[in-house]
Every structure is written in C-alpha cells, then in structure tokens.
C-alpha cells in the first residue's frame, strides 16, 4: 500500500525537529538567554526511550493506517506524551523551591505539537463528525487541558510560572476580553439586524451602507482606535454625563466603539445576503395567503435567513476576539495586556500567556458557531 502523504510529511517534520532542535530551553531567570536541551538529556533512559517508541508508533500510524479513528487516537496519544514529557522535563530541571529558573518548551516541542495537531484535525476532517460531536470533542479537549492545568501538571513550565504571578489579573483580563468581544458583538447585533433588514428593503440604501461599512473594515485596528480617541475625548470633556458613564478618549469606550463598527459589516452584509437568498416565490406565497409584512419577516424571511446571519455572527465574534487584543494598547484591557507587557519586557512567556488563551477562545467560538450554523441549515432550503 502507498504511504499516506500528509502522514509522511508530518512524521518527517516531527522527527527532524525532535532530533535537531531543542525540546526545552532552560533559563536561570526570566530575562537571560537560555540553554537548549534535547529530550534524551532530561528524562531517565527508560522514560526517554518510551517517548521515542510511542512517537515512532504514532508516525507509523500516520504513515500506514487509513482508518481515521485510529489516526485521531494516535494523534491524541502523541499530544499527551509530548505534553507530559515537557512537564516531566520542567520538573527535572527545576531545583526544589526555586521560583526563579524558567523552563520553556523549545522549538522541537512546538513543531511536534503542530504536527500532531495537524494529524488530529486531518483525522477529524476525515471522520466528518456531526455538529454535536464536534462541540463535544472540543469540550472534552478543553476539559482535559483545564484539569491538567488545575492539577499542577505543568506548574514548573515558564508560562505557568508567569500565570502563577499574574493569576488574579489573568482572570480579570480574561473576563474583560470576553466581555469586550461579546458586548460589542451584542451591540452590533442590536443595531445591525434592523439595519440589514432596512438595507434589504431599500436597495438604494444598501449600496451606501455596505460601501461605508466596507470602508471602515479597511481601516487598520490601531488606526481606528486612534481616530476614535479625539472625538470621544472631546465628548467626555463637553458632556459631563458621558464622562460619568465612563466614556473617555482612552480605555474601554473607543475599544467598544471600534469593535462595534468592525462587527457591523459581517452582520449587516450577511443579514442582507440571507434575506436575498429567501426565494421570491416563498415570500409571494406568504403575502398571497394574507401575512402582514411583519409576519412575513418574522415567520418566513428571518427563519430562512438565520443560517447566513449566524455565519456573519461567527465571523464578527472570531474577528472581535482577535481585535480586542489590540485594545490593550489604548487602555481597553483584555488578554492583550499580557501580550504587550511581555513584548515590552522581552518576556516571551508573558506574551504566550496572553496569546494562547486568545487563540483557544477564537478557535472555540468558531467551532461552536459553525456547529450552530450547521444545525440551523438542517431545516433545509
């Protein structure tokens, strides 16, 4: 039989990384350059050997086994082994009660994780699970990861060291990140749905509004934040009530306004597209049977447009979760705070403490909303 092409590529990349690049990097403290270590230097011979053997088995499955269930299982086993190995390396390199040394995953570790992740997602794609299963799979994966983190498995790794120092702030900024992304999306829904319906009903308005929103979408995030600072600052100075409500040139106000503006395009455009997709003849029948235009809208047009509108919500939410990161620069808060603080201190672990949860949040939002869109489409057109 022919070896699997993707499996061959991933196995080769993983093996090359494992044997040529450092598995972990050891630093005497947070700032100094580190020394690289291979997996075999760190673990007892039997443990290192077991790791290599298991990864070899995963590579064999990736190369020769076509069954996607087995491939997924192999990928998950590989992820578990590589994760546990780096945890063990952290424990081995950290002297007792020492909170100054930093053990960070090295290039080999990241490349292995990426290869195993690709192997896993490829297997999931081949399995074609239904929307419910995909969400369940995500929930189980997140659950296992959180359990391991709560259990302290990775406490000696550098990122968790940064977390331990920043735990309270992390919870606060994480919640703020979600609140900013979801809040601005909610506001965009409240304004965007009626605006989309209006644009659908009034074609002349459609071109103007969508053109305007398209223009806003092309403004880079940081530039839009900057552009909003002046008018919001002026508003706060002129209207004391606005200032009392927390509207200022910097902080959450310009962030929410900018995210709201960015979210409008996907929501308005998809509302219009969804409504246009409703067959003319269906609307004609609904009117002909005596529905008022409000009844046609709520009972026929909106339900039929819902999957497309939800796709717009998905785009807006995932985009917002990413954009909130930049809001940290103007004092908006969110997980971006850690990213920019880490860049300022050249502390890459602090950057990752902000960046990894953002990626996980965006990915989870995409999976859940995609599943929702698919469920809605089951009521077929």
Partner 1 sequence: MITIENLTKRYGATTVVDSVSMQIPRNSLTVIVGTSGSGKSTLLRMVNRLVEPSSGRVLLDGSDTRAQPAHLLRRRIGYAIQGHGLFPHRTVAENIATVPRLLGWDAARIAARVTELLEAFALDPASFAGQFPHQLSGGQQQRVGVARALAAGPQLLLMDEPFGALDPIIRAKAQDDLLDIRRRFGTTIVLVTHDMDEAFRLGDHVAVMSGGRMLQYGPPAQLLTRPADPMVSRMTGLADRAMRLLSLSTAGEAALPGTVDGPQVPASATLRDVLSELMWRGVDAACVTDADGTARGHLTVAAILARGRP
Binding site for partner 1 (CB under 8 A): 279, 281-282, 284-292, 295, 300, 303-304, 379-381
Positive or negative: CA dihedral 370, 375, 380, 381 = negative
Q: Which of 41, 50, 108 is nearest to 81 (CA)?
A: 50
Taking the complex as a whole, the smallest distance from the CB of residue 379 to partner 1 amounts, in Å, to: 5
Dihedral angle computed from the Cα positions of residues 151, 153, 156 and 157, in that order, rounded to the nearest 10 degrees:
-110
Q: Which is nearer to partner 1, 63 or 278 (CB)?
A: 278
Taking the complex as a whole, the smallest distance from the CB of residue 375 to partner 1 amounts, in Å, to: 13
Structure tokens at 253: 């106000």
Taking the complex as a whole, the smallest distance from the CB of residue 271 to partner 1 amounts, in Å, to: 17
CB of 156 closer than 8 Å to CB of 91? yes
Q: Which is nearer to partner 1, 150 or 294 (CB)?
A: 294
Taking the complex as a whole, the smallest distance from the CB of residue 377 to partner 1 amounts, in Å, to: 10
Taking the complex as a whole, the smallest distance from the CB of residue 281 to partner 1 amounts, in Å, to: 4
Q: Which is nearer to partner 1, 32 or 294 (CB)?
A: 294
Structure tokens at 71: 């491939």
CA separation for the pair 299, 279 (Å, rounded): 14
Max CA pair span of the chain: 80
Q: Which is nearer to partner 1, 32 or 281 (CB)?
A: 281
CB of 119 closer than 8 Å to CB of 348? no
CB of 53 closer than 8 Å to CB of 83? no
CA separation for the pair 45, 107 (Å, rounded): 22
Structure tokens at 44: 């007892």
Taking the complex as a whole, the smallest distance from the CB of residue 306 to partner 1 amounts, in Å, to: 9
């Amino acid at each position: 039989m022919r070896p699997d092409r993707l499996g061959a590529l991933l196995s080769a990349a993983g093996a090359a990384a494992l044997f040529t690049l450092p598995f972990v990097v050891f630093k005497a403290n947070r700032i100094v350059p580190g020394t690289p270590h291979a997996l075999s230097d760190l673990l007892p011979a039997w443990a290192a050997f077991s790791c290599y053997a298991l990864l070899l088995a995963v590579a064999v499955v990736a190369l020769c086994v076509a069954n996607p269930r087995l491939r997924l299982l192999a990928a998950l086993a590989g992820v578990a082994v590589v994760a546990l190995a780096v945890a063990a390396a952290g424990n081995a390199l950290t002297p007792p009660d020492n909170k100054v040394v930093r053990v960070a995953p090295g290039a080999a570790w990241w490349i292995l994780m990426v290869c195993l992740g690709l192997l896993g997602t490829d297997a999931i794609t081949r399995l074609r699970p239904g929307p419910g299963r995909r969400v369940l799979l995500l929930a189980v994966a997140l659950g296992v990861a959180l359990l391991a983190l709560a259990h302290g498995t990775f406490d000696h790794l550098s990122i968790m060291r940064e977390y331990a120092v920043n735990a309270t702030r992390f919870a606060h900024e994480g919640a703020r990140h979600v609140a900013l992304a979801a809040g601005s999306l909610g506001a965009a829904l409240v304004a965007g749905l009626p605006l989309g319906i209006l644009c659908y009903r009034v074609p002349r308005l459609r071109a103007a509004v969508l053109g305007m929103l398209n223009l806003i979408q092309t403004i880079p995030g940081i530039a839009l934040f900057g552009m909003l600072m002046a008018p919001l600052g002026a508003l706060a100075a002129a209207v004391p009530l606005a200032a009392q409500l927390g509207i200022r040139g910097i902080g959450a106000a310009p962030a929410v306004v900018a995210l709201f503006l960015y979210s409008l395009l996907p929501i308005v455009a998809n509302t219009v597209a969804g409504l246009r997709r409703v067959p003319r003849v269906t609307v004609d029948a609904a009117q002909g049977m005596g529905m008022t235009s409000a009844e046609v809208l709520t009972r026929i047009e909106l339900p039929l447009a819902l999957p497309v509108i939800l796709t717009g919500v998905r785009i807006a939410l995932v985009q917002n979760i990413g954009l909130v990161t930049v809001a940290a620069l103007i004092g908006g808060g969110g997980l971006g705070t850690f990213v920019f603080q880490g860049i300022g201190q050249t502390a890459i672990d602090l950057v990752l403490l902000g960046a990894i949860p953002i990626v996980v949040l965006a990915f989870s939002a995409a999976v859940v909303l995609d599943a929702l869109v698919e469920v809605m489409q089951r009521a077929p057109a």
